[in-house]
Amino acid sequence: MNFLKHLPNTITCCNLISGCIATGCAFYGQYQWAVLMIIVGAVFDFFDGMTARALGVSSPIGKELDSLADVVTFGVAPSAIIFYLFHEVHYPQVLLPLRDFVPYTAFIMAAFSALRLAKFNLDERQAMGFIGLPTPANALFWGSLVLGQHAFLVSLKFNAVFLFLFMLLFCMLLVCEVPMLALKFKDFSWEKNKVKYIFLLGCLPCFFLGTSCFAAIILWYVALSIIIDVRARH
């Protein structure tokens, strides 16, 4: 029984360790291993809360530990991926003197991820949904994008300026006040779940994109959520 009491926090620590390994792999440019360990961390993150509720051992320290682990796995690890990518991308002539410094801007994303998680912990509006892009989705987006589109990202068609601006866009998405589509089903009727079914149907073509599919799915998820929010405001 004593072991079961600590099981959820043990799972959370496995998430943290996965994030640390992912970060280490990213610093060596081992993108595949980095993304794999982010996914492993996401699996642990899914089961720690579920285990705590099932065993009736939820605690304040577990909630704090979960956020700390998520900052590493879904904040620092994707930042490390972008950090290494900054060393590979093309730089315009005007930015060449700053080439050794620009990669460190990648860790702006880690700061915004931490802010996103802090807001989530305190925002009662997010009990049944998300406001702003969830950090696991952001991490998975960057991992999938770098794996699937690496050749394009390091080509002359792309450069460090585009990467920086794209990173800032996703930093804003993490903390924006846009409600993101919740995929929880209370029943499976078309009338009550029309938007969710439209989202799922729109995901199907994305799977033909190979390892880029998750990046495409998350872009579709963000775009549909913004469309729904704009329509709701008008």
Tell me which DSSP letter residue 177 carries. Answer: S
Domains with residue ranges and CATH for the chain: 2-179 (1.20.120.1760)
For the chain, give the percent of residues with pLDDT over 90: 65
Higher pLDDT, 82 or 177: 82
Flag whether the pTM goes above 0.75: yes
Residue 54 in this model has a pLDDT that exceeds 80: no
Whether 142 contacts 78, CB under 8 Å: yes
Tell me which DSSP letter residue 140 carries. Answer: H
What is the phi/psi pair of residue 165, to 5°? -65, -40
pLDDT tier for residue 127 given thresholds of 50, 70 and 90:
low
Closest CA to 120 of 133, 106, 104: 133
Residue 5 in this model has a pLDDT that exceeds 60: yes
10 Å Cβ neighbour count for 208? Answer: 9
Higher pLDDT, 77 or 47: 77
**Residue-wise pLDDT tens digits, 153-194:** 999 999 999 999 999 999 999 999 888 887 776 767 777 788
Give the whole-angstrom CA distance, residue 108 versus residue 125: 26
**Residue-wise pLDDT tens digits, 30-45:** 999 999 999 999 999 9
Q: What is the mean pLDDT of residues 40-54?
A: 85
pLDDT at 50: 79
Burial of 13 (0-12, 13-18, 19+ CB in 10 A): middle
Q: What kind and span of H or E run contains 199?
A: helix 190-203
pLDDT at 47: 86
Helices 60-71 & 31-55 angle (0-180, nearest 10): 170
Residue 222 in this model has a pLDDT that exceeds 70: yes
Closest CA to 61 of 100, 69, 1: 69
Higher pLDDT, 76 or 48: 76
Tell me the longest C-alpha to C-alpha distance in the chain: 63
Q: What is the mean pLDDT of residues 132-145?
A: 95
